[in-house]
Amino acid sequence: MSKLEIVKVPDPILRETSTPVESVNADVRRLMDDMLETMYDAPGVGLAAIQVGVPRRVIVLDVSTDDEEPQPFFMANPEIVHLGEAMRTHEEGCLSIPGVNVEIERPADVTVRYVDREGAAQELTADGLLATAIQHEVDHLDGKLIIDFMSRLRRDMIIRKFRKQRQASD
């Protein structure tokens, strides 16, 4: 396994729609493993392949706490098939937009269909932080970011700030 570089805003790849994975093969499993290592190192609770520059419909998640055993999820081609009616507001951060947190209201529970690390079709109903993380990462696969939930003015200010930081480091 190896740690990958996380793409940051305003990189245009973050706005691309990711393409489906045809099959979960050794290359996809290696990508999943590298993404998980990268996510743990960052640290974060979820990571989409597009965030490491790979526009494929792959996400990894682990919302376990430090005092729990890791409980990673590997999802290829995740598809949200049901959103609950109850809503939950959670302050979300993003590894591609470090230091920015946004209060976002999303459905409190979600059902997602996906292909697991072994290539088997799965369906999972999740609530709480896992439901939020799944929706956040699936948004990434569709080119949507947490800053899209804020006003255009605030979003533009954040993008300008990251542009300046990138120019200063070049």
What is the total count of domains within the chain?
1
User: Which residue has tokens 């973050």?
Assistant: 14
126: CATH? 3.90.45.10
pLDDT value, residue 56 = 98
For residue 127, what are the β-bridge partners?
109
Residue 122, token pair as written in the block: 């799965």
The answer to whether position 24 is within a domain reads yes
The answer to whether position 2 is within a domain reads no
pLDDT value, residue 121 = 98
pTM as predicted:
0.95
The answer to whether position 4 is within a domain reads no
The answer to whether position 148 is within a domain reads yes
3-7, 58-62, 64-68, 85-89: least confidently modelled range: 64-68
pLDDT value, residue 90 = 96
pLDDT value, residue 142 = 98
Average pLDDT over residues 28-37: 98
The answer to whether position 115 is within a domain reads yes
The answer to whether position 67 is within a domain reads yes
pLDDT value, residue 166 = 84
pLDDT value, residue 168 = 87
Handedness of CA 5, 11, 15, 20 (dihedral sign): negative
What proportion of the chain, given as a percentage, has pLDDT over 70? Answer: 100
pLDDT value, residue 8 = 96
Which residues are catalytically annotated? Answer: 137
User: Which residue has tokens 């209060």?
Assistant: 103
* Containing structural domain, residue 27: 12-169
Contact criterion met (CB below 8 Å) for 114 and 76: yes
Closest CA to 135 of 150, 121, 147, 145: 145
Average pLDDT over residues 42-67: 96
